[in-house]
Copies of this chain bind each other. A is one copy, B any other.
Amino acid sequence: VLGIYEEVRRGLGVGEGGEVDIQPAEKPESIRFIQDKIEGRRLSAPEIKSIVVDVIENRLSDVELASFVTALKIRGLSMDEVEAFTRAMVETGEVIAWEEERVFDKHSIGGVPGDKTTLLVVPILASAGLLIPKTSSRAITSPAGTADRVEVLCPVDLTIDEIREVVRETRGCMVWGGALELAPADDLFINVEYPLSIDPLLLPSIMSKKKAIGSTHVLIDIPMGTQAKVKTLEEAHALARDFIELGRRLNIHVECAVTYGEQPIGYAVGPALEACEALEALMGRGPIDLREKATNLAGVLLEMAGIEDGKAMATHLVEGGEAEGKLREIISAQGGDPEVMPEDIEIGEKCEVITSDQRGRVVAISNSAVAHIAREAGAPKDKGAGVLLKVKLGDEVSEGEPLFEIYAERAWKMEAAVSLAESLRPIRLSRRVEERMLIERFPKRFPPKEPFLLER
Contact = CB atoms under 8 A, between A and B. Distances in A.
Contact of A66 (B21, B40, B64, B198): B64
A63 B66 contact: yes
A215 to B, nearest CB: 31
Nearest to A412: B21
Contacts of A411: none
A199 B62 CA distance: 18
Q: Is the interface of A mostly helix, strand, loop or mixed?
A: helix
Contact of A62 (B40, B62, B73, B198): B62
- Range, interface on chain A: 20 to 34
This protein's copies in its complex: 2
Interface in A2-41: 21, 31, 34-35, 38, 40
A346 to B, nearest CB: 25
A63 B71 CA distance: 13
A195 interface: yes
Contacts of A69: 67
Contacts of A75: 74
Given A35-B196, A196-B35, A66 B62 contact: yes
Contact of A70 (B61, B67, B197): B67
A192 interface: yes
Interface string A243-281: 000000000000000000000000000000000000000
Interface string A63-86: 111110111011100000000000
A416 to B, nearest CB: 8
A199 to B, nearest CB: 12
A75 B62 CA distance: 21
Interface string A51-68: 000000000011111110
A194 to B, nearest CB: 9
A31 B70 CA distance: 13
A264 to B, nearest CB: 23
A66 B198 CA distance: 14
Interface in A187-230: 192, 195-198
The 10 A-B pairs of least Cβ separation, nearest first, read A66-B66, A67-B70, A63-B66, A70-B70, A66-B67, A74-B74, A67-B196, A63-B192, A62-B63, A63-B195
Interface of A: 21, 31, 34-35, 38, 40, 61-67, 69-71, 73-75, 192, 195-198, 412
Given A63-B66, A64-B196, A70-B70, 15 more contacts: A21-B412, A31-B197, A34-B196, A35-B196, A35-B198, A38-B70, A38-B196, A62-B62, A62-B63, A63-B65, A64-B195, A66-B67, A67-B69, A70-B71, A70-B74
